[in-house]
Structure 1
Amino acid sequence: MPVEKRKTPVRKVSPRKSAPRKKKGKPFPMAWKVALAGLLLILLSPLYYGYILSGFVSAWRWVKDYGQDPNYRTYHSFNIKIPKKHTVHGIDVSYYQGKIDWLKVKEMKEDEVKISFAFIKATEGLLLVDPYFKRNWREAPKAGLMCGAYHFFRPKKDGKAQAKFFLQVVNIEKGDLPPVVDIESLDGVSPAKMRLELSDFINYVEMKTKVKPIIYTGLKFYKDYLAGEFEDYHLWIANYHQAQLRMDKSLWKFWQHSDRAKINGIGHVVDFNAFNGDSTELVKMLVK
């Protein structure tokens, strides 16, 4: 009988588990690299930060102006608030402003605000002539501005002698604004002495020019030492950064309401003034 062959059991071998393969990362797309490089350039660029800064400045201006008195709003090109109830505006200058491009001054305008007149320093005391007076006195009218000259008064000095000195430098002519005497301090003399010398100055200038001078002073100085005096003369009052001049409108003609104006053609801040009246009334004030 045939011999039965024993079947050798077959061992089942489990398939060897190989270690998982590391997936290779996909290369970063070139378009993204370019975009990232561009973003970095923008973030590092001064122009970018200038743009951001200008945005903050605009937002701040909006917040600052929001809810303000509409009759006393900021004019950004002039860099000051200007009372809107006045329609005729001007500046006053001296050597402090340096060399001025008067054509640029005349051309400057924001909304309805522009420069129509200028008062120019001529002399001070008995000896000082403003080094820029002749140039300013010549060039400002050429640009089309109505101009007046002023003298910075020193109460310690003889009033009549100061008037003579002023008129030696300034020739008051037809078409000029009236001459101005600028009185701001007592300079150590009594109020009575100051008024006496000021009266001598005014009387001499009026006698020689047939024109009543304008008196410039600060609001406090006026209230302390000049109120009730010189009532026949127009006043030019300094009182800064207020929505209105708290003074009887019949008493003053010019109001110096800011000392921080930025004006095209001038390299330094400037005093800014409003006229108490319209352009026709200002023309009527010119020397005939």
Structure 2
Amino acid sequence: MPPEKRIPSDKKTVARKPVERKPTSRKPVGKRKKQSFLSAKMKVAIAALLLILLSPLYYGYVLNGFVATWRWMKDLGQDPNYRTYKSFNIKIPKKYSIHGIDVSYYQGKINWPKVKAMKEDEVKISFAFIKATEGILQVDPYFQRNWREAPKAGIVCGAYHFFRPKKSGSAQAKFFLQVANVEKGDLPPVVDVETLDGVTPLRMRLELSDFLTYVEMKTGVRPIIYTGLKFYEDNLKGKLDEYPLWIAHYYQPRLRLDKSRWKFWQHSDKAKINGIGHVVDFNAFNGDSTTLAEMLVK
């Protein structure tokens, strides 16, 4: 071939320039593949989320979380009906103006003037229930001292008997009244029933009825039944409804029982009271001072 007709070497380089377009042509393809993959993942995620949201377990979990948060807020004192009183070292339900304690030998020797003098804001000790007897033989060793000294300090008192369902109800009532001399100005006598002692609920109620009938006949005042909320619901609800109730139900801003059914609420067993060396049960009365006065033995 003649020299003048040869293709110049620089023209060969120009002819291969289209190679530079390759990245441009492939870039959209790569994008399309990635978008398709993400779209599939999104579909799976949305389907899983819908399954969770429609599941009853999810709503149960949310509800439990709400309840836990509400309880946490209450523990921080944010429940306006349930606040901590530092002097008594417990939370006390508000909306009650009359407060009191109940004691036995467990509290030891009590300085009743100090008990009476204790006060924080509107809360003070106005009444006390004092253990007298148990079964047909046991007398509380501190009963006579407490029964004598508490009224001297200006505290209204009532005596209580710890009931044993295996024993005769009337025999226990006689024993109780031999020890506790119920007088004018006292709170009604109390029978504390919180165990079946192996007998049936029916047998317990029969003996308890005998106790109540005998005490009412001898004192002329209707006795109070003390028991725990669970024991009441299981064994006494709808029975012996003519008698006033004193219910134990701890660490709650309100008692889970119709307010028309109870007179006293034992809401804590950990109160610290001036003049007493051990923790004490703390109670609220369902009423004002006039209502309390109407309950006293005439």
TM range (shorter): 0.7 to 0.9
2:151 partner SS:
helix
1:67 shift after superposition: 5.3
Matched, 1:270 2:280: yes
Task: Judge conservation of contact 1:65–1:73 (CA < 8 Å) in 2.
Answer: no
TM score, norm. by length of structure 1: 0.77
Matched, 1:169 2:176: no
Which amino acid in the other structure matches residue 82 of structure 2?
Y
Identity %: 80
- Corresponding residue of 1:96: 106
Q: Which of 115, 124, 130 is the matching residue for 2:140? A: 130
Greater share of helix: 2
After the TM superposition, which of the residue ranges 277-286 and 236-245 deviates more from structure 2?
Answer: 277-286
**Following superposition, which runs of at least 4 residues in structure 1 exceed 6 angstroms of deviation?**
none
- Corresponding residue of 2:214: 204
- Corresponding residue of 2:120: 110
Task: Judge conservation of contact 1:65–1:74 (CA < 8 Å) in 2.
Answer: no
Which amino acid in the other structure matches residue 155 of structure 2?
L
2:130 partner SS:
strand
1:281 shift after superposition: 0.7
- Corresponding residue of 1:180: 190
C-alpha offsets along residues 14-72 of structure 1, whole Å, 9 cap, x if unaligned? Answer: xxxxxxxxxxxxxxxxxxxxxxxxxxxxxxxxxxxxxxxxxxxxxxxxx9975511210
- Corresponding residue of 2:9: none
Which amino acid in the other structure matches residue 186 of structure 2?
D
- Corresponding residue of 1:57: none
Which amino acid in the other structure matches residue 85 of structure 1?
K
- Corresponding residue of 1:190: 200
- Return the alpha-carbon distance in structure 2 between the equivalents of residues 203 and 64 of structure 1: 43
- Return the alpha-carbon distance in structure 2 between the equivalents of residues 211 and 139 of structure 1: 23
Structure 2 gap segments, 5+ residues each: 1-72
Task: Judge conservation of contact 1:212–1:233 (CA < 8 Å) in 2.
Answer: yes
1:228 shift after superposition: 0.5
TM score, norm. by length of structure 2: 0.75
Structural RMSD (CA):
1.2
Which amino acid in the other structure matches residue 259 of structure 2?
K
Q: Which of 271, 282, 289 is the matching residue for 1:261? A: 271
- Return the alpha-carbon distance in structure 2 between the equivalents of residues 171 and 67 of structure 1: 43
Give the alignment of 1:155-166 within 5 angstroms. Answer: 155-166=165-176
Structure 1 gap segments, 5+ residues each: 1-62
